[in-house]
Structure formats: structure tokens, C-alpha cells
Amino acid sequence: MLAGERMIAPGYVGQVLGTADVTELDRIIQDAIERAYRRAMVNGEMKADAREKYGALGAALADTHLHPIPALEDTVGAVYRVDPRTVDLGEMVRYATDVSRQVAAIDPRVKYNYVGALTELSRELFVSTEGARIDQSFALTQGTCSVVTVHGEVSQDLYDAVGHQRGWEILLDGATELPLVFPAFRDFALALAREAFGLAPERIAVSSRLAELQIKTGDGRRAMRTLERGWALAPHPDLAALYLKASGENDALKRVGIVRKLAAQKPDDLESNLALAHAALEAGLWGEARRYLDAAGGTHPPVRVCRLMAEVEERAQSDQAKVHEWLARAATAPADKAWRCAACGAQHEGWHSVCESCGAFGTLHWRAPGTYGHVLPPELEPRPALTMNSGG
């Protein structure tokens, strides 16, 4: 609702309805409109007061007007192959239990896991005084997995969710149509559990600090062994840079051979291929650099791969169109891994035990953001079957 005397402001009312409210719907909507109106009027008065009180800053406050858009009438149907209303609760329990058992079976160090599955159908009606009348339904199906692994003194908690506005089929088969692509939920949950082992964030920091110390004391060989062990568990670009430093090698071609030895600790890994591509690029081996980047990128190369491809084409003096094509791809490519806080999502330059943005302890992980949809807390409740939005 938009209303006001001295200034126009919005007033909102939200209420969850169930089937028991259907017979009272007219009265409920009438009450909601009156409450929204009173709120808009008070809001408008407060806005006018603020405008008078805060001088130049207050002048930034303006009446709330709707942007003129065509008022549409439409019925939008839900998209699903398996109707959420037909999925048997017993089958859902069996499925979630089975995924949870498989996650636990990956390794005895998986000490706890939580698997949740939900599938639902929502219907929303949107009407406005300008004539909009949209009756929209959608399915929502989601799988959540949370894993706690314990390595010695360190425990690691990792959780993520996959979901889509589709039916139960997306958990069984995954989503295959762009822009939302993710694997079957079982594979997603198993990959998450495996990732939890490589993650132990302090591992990268420990490897690099120990290696730095060993380089400082002149023991380059030991530093290289430290970094090889670190790379096998959790590869990271900082480790590759230190490895080259520890080797003391300055010849660009020989440096490619040295990086090959490091990459062999975890072949086929994105970081291994990227480190090799970097070294090949520095040595002027364009064909080899392209080959490593192709291997690193797969069908959806992330930003770092696209940028490095552009650099290879630039330095190889290829057609400028190729350089531009890779730069354009970088703009829409999946985001790179970075140190991200699992609690607040903030991105950091390096690993710290405490997140500088939200103060959480031990929440920084080296990972890509929202790789498989958004992260939801495990305690998320399914939404009610009927939601009323009174807009305008």
C-alpha cells in the first residue's frame, strides 16, 4: 500500500494463511488493507518529519511512486516432472537416510552428517489496484547436506544445498539445463564430504608457513617436500609460487619441469593445471599453456582460466578477436575459489582463523561461492502451501 498526506510512503502487512482461513478470506483481506493503510500513513508522517529535520540529507527522501509498468493478468503454472504432492513421505525418508549412510561410509573421519530433502508446491496470487492479477504456482525441491569431519585435533564443518523450482526428479537426476546445472543430490553430498577432507583450511596456511621458514633457513629441498605433501592434500596457488622459490631455479623452461613435479602430486586438479599453464606461459610455450587451460576449464571454465587464456592469446600475438572473446567469457564465467567465510560470505585475501567481517572463528574456506545454488541453514522449515501477497 502507498499512502500519505505530507509525504507518500509504503505500508506492508504480511500474514500466513491456511485452509481454515478460506471462508474468512474477504474479511482477512479487508483487515490487511486497513492495517497496511494505517502503516503507510504513519510511515509517510515520519518520513516528512525526517525530511524537515535532516536538512540536505533529508532532501534525499522523496515520495514513493511506482514506476509505470504495464499491469498484467496471467496464470503461471509450476514446472515439474514429479508432482511434489504425489511424493510419498516414506520414500523421501528412505532416500535421505540412504544418502546420509553413503556419506558416512566415505571415511570413518566423517563423524556426523545431516541430510535433508524437501519438495513442495507453492501458489501465490498477486493483485494490485493498477489491475495486475497474477496467479503463480511453482514447485521447489531442495536437498541439504551438512558434514562434520575430524582430523586429529581439528574438526571441520561444511554444509551446502542444491535446489531448483522443479519437482522431486532434480534430486535424483540433477539439473541439466542452463543457467542452473548441478549433479544428482547423492553425488553432490558425497563430493561435499570428500571436499571436507581437502579443506581443513589451516592445512594450506601451515604448509606455506612451514615452507617459508625452511626456505629462510636455506633448506629449499625440505621446503619442496613440505609443499608437495601440502599440494597432495590441498593445492593452492600460493604453494606453487613458494615451490618455485624453494627450487631456486630461474630458467623459465626448467621451471615448467619443476611445476610438473608438484602438479604430479594431484594430477587433473584445477590448481595443478593452472600452475602448469602459468609456468608454460612464462616459458613462451603457448600450445602447452592452452592445453593445460583446456584441461583446467572443462565445459564451464572459471574466471581465472578465461583471463589466463586471454593472456596466452595476447602474448602469443594471436588474433585480437580471440583475446576479446576470452575476456568476454571471463565476465560471465563461474566465480573463482577464494577464501570465503561460511558464516557471512565475506571474501578475504588470505586465510585467518577469525573472519574480520563477522568475527566467526574457523569459518574461512578456500572455495567458490554458491557453486551449487544458495546456502541455506539446515534448520530451514518448508514454506506453507499457500502464501498471500497483497501488493500495490
Shortest reach from residue 339's CB to Zn ion, in Å = 10
Task: Work out whether 155 is an interface residue with Zn ion (CB under 5 A).
Answer: no
Give, as ranges, the residues between 296 and 355 that touch Zn ion (CB under 5 A).
341, 343-344, 346, 355
Q: Rounded to whole angstroms, how far apart are CA atoms 51 and 328?
A: 44
CB 174 → Zn ion: shortest distance, Å? 30
Of 137 and 357, nearer to Zn ion (C-beta) is: 357
Q: Which residue, 279 or 355, is less far from Zn ion as judged by CB?
A: 355
* Per-residue x/- track, 35-54, Zn ion (CB under 5 A): --------------------
Nearer to Zn ion, 93 or 344 (CB): 344
Near Zn ion in 49-108, by CB under 5 A? none
Q: How many residues bind Zn ion (CB under 5 A)?
A: 8
Shortest distance in whole angstroms from residue 303 CB to Zn ion: 22
102 versus 357: smaller Cβ distance to Zn ion: 357
Tell me the three-class secondary structure of the chain, residue by residue.
CEECCCCCEECCCCEECCHHHHHHHHHHHHHHHHHHHHHHHHHHHHHHHHHHHCHHHHCCCCCCCCCCCCCCEEEECCCCCCCHHHCCHHHHHHHHHHHHHHHHHCCCCEEEEEEEEEEEEEEEEEECCCCCEEEEEEEEEEEEEEEEEEECCEEEEEEEEEEECCCCHHHHHCECCCCCCECCHHHHHHHHHHHHHHHCCHHHHHHHHHHHHHHHCCCHHHHHHHHHHHHHHCCCHHHHHHHHHHHCCCCHHHHHHHHHHHHCCCCCCHHHHHHHHHHHHHCCCHHHHHHHHHHHHCCCCCHHHHHHHHHHHHHCCCCHHHHHHHHHHHHHCCCCCEEEECCCCCEECCCCCECCCCCCECCEEEECCCCCCCCCCCCCCCCCCEEEEECC
Nearest distance from residue 344's CB to Zn ion, in Å? Answer: 3
Give, rounded to a whole angstrom, the gap between the first and last alpha carbons of the chain: 5
In degrees, to the nearest 5, what angle opens at C-alpha 109 toward C-alphas 107 and 110? 75
The residue among 220 and 370 lying less far from Zn ion, judged by its C-beta, is 370
Q: Which of 274, 51, 22 is nearest to 125 (CA)?
A: 22
Q: How far is the CB of 204 from Zn ion (least distance, A)?
A: 18
Closest distance to Zn ion from the beta carbon of 362 (Å): 11
Output the smallest distance, CB 167 to Zn ion, in A: 35
Minimal distance, residue 341 CB to Zn ion, in Å: 3
Q: Select 258 or 355, whichever has its Cβ closest to Zn ion.
A: 355
Q: Which is nearer to Zn ion, 322 or 352 (CB)?
A: 352
For Zn ion, the closer of residues 87 and 355 by Cβ is 355
Nearer to Zn ion, 146 or 272 (CB): 146
CB closer to Zn ion, 3 vs 205? 205
Cα distance between residue 41 and residue 33, in whole Å: 12
Min dist CB 357 to Zn ion, Å, is: 4
The minimum distance between CB 308 and Zn ion, in angstroms, equals: 29
Residue window 344-373: x/- pattern of binding to Zn ion, with contact defined by CB under 5 A: x-x--------x-xx-x-------------
d(CA 171, CA 140) in angstroms, rounded, equals 11
Residues lying near Zn ion in the complex (CB under 5 A) = 341, 343-344, 346, 355, 357-358, 360
